[in-house]
Amino acid sequence: MTTSVSQRDQPVIDVVMSCYGGERYLPGAIESVLHQSYSHLRFIIVDDGSPGEVRDIVGRYAEQDPRILFLLKEHTGLTPSLRYGVEAGSAPWIARMDSDDIWYPEKLAEQVRMITTHDDIVLCGTGCVLINEQGERQGEYRYPERHEDLLRHLFSQKRFFPHSSAVFSRAAYEKVGGYRTPFVKSQDADLWLRLARCGRITSLPDSFLELRKHEAQISQQKRGYPQFVYSCAAVICARLRERDEEREPLHDEEHWNAFLDRVSESVQETRALAAREELAAIKTLWHEKNPRLFCRSIRFLLGGDLFRCLRWRMYGNRPFTDAFARQWTNERG
């Protein structure tokens, strides 16, 4: 591949990965980055105060490959660790990697090809292959390529390309303020919604990532409920920004916590997450032909949630977040 890089002596992409435990999958994740066919990268690995063997594992790789920058810090969570890692770099493009996922060798090469031939792109993701704890293939997801379609997916909280597939512009990242620490979850959705106001977002049509699903990951905690609440909060904040930048409830911790509590209560009242989960279960039914799952879905639909499922299928969660943003604005003048 011929790269369009003005300064060949500097890394084109800073790959940022935060680690907190996860020793089982860490070597595979590291090796998949180091074995990229596109080698102009700096690999910034942040140990977020891991209690296990992360330091020894990463240290061994760092001794062998000078492209690795290994940073140690106290445990503060994913979002502050990502900010720390990004600030340690200087490359014009940033790639995210998770310590339990796997990149295919051509991933960065294909994304660099895209971003260097389209000056208006600020964010580029890819499709993904789902794998389980044993690395067995569970399915595949591909995402829209057009900016407008991806933006609709973000606002409706439908499937979007994984955080660890993303490459984004440092200039745009700094312009919008980067990862925001109040978003302890769904910090990617919050960032993508702000980046989309700076330029075009896109996704490669093919899969270049193996996305691992297991019980220990953040998105699976409490069946994904906290993740969903923060995702709703990210979309609502985007709607509030459209009206007035000052309307976002991020002024202080007290206002933010009150806002999150209100979002959580509304999610429970509208059963939005339940509708999304049931639609996903029904889709699984068609693939697995699972009678038990079928009976559960029938009970759910007969329980009065058929309308909610149909509305989610058509509009995602957009009616809920739009209505919440309007009400929040009206209450505050």
CB-based contact 179:84 (threshold 8 Å): no
What is the mean predicted confidence (pLDDT) over 173-200?
Answer: 97
In our burial notation (b when 16+ CB lie closer than 10 A, e otherwise), range 128-164 reads bbbbeeeeeeeeeeebbeebeebbebbbbbbebbbbb
In our burial notation (b when 16+ CB lie closer than 10 A, e otherwise), range 87-99 reads eebebbbbbbbbb
What is the mean predicted confidence (pLDDT) over 20-45?
Answer: 96
Cα–Cα nearest to 127, from 162, 100, 167: 162
| pLDDT value for 158 | 87
| pLDDT band at residue 55 using 50, 70 and 90 as cut-offs | very high
Residue 109 burial (CB count, 10 A)? 17
Residue ranges per structural domain of the chain: 13-216, 221-331
The secondary structure of residue 333, as a DSSP letter, is -
Architecture of domain 13-216: Alpha-Beta Complex (3.90)
| pLDDT value for 213 | 87
| pLDDT band at residue 268 using 50, 70 and 90 as cut-offs | confident
| pLDDT value for 298 | 61
3-state secondary structure 220-232: HHHHHHHHHHHHH
Lowest mean pLDDT among 1-10, 192-201, 247-256, 316-325: 1-10
| pLDDT value for 4 | 43
Higher confidence at residue 264 or residue 290?
264
| 9 pLDDT more than 50 | no
Give the global pTM: 0.87
Higher confidence at residue 82 or residue 7?
82
| pLDDT value for 7 | 37
> For the chain, what's the residue count?
333
| pLDDT value for 246 | 81
Beta partners for residue 128, in sequence order = 141
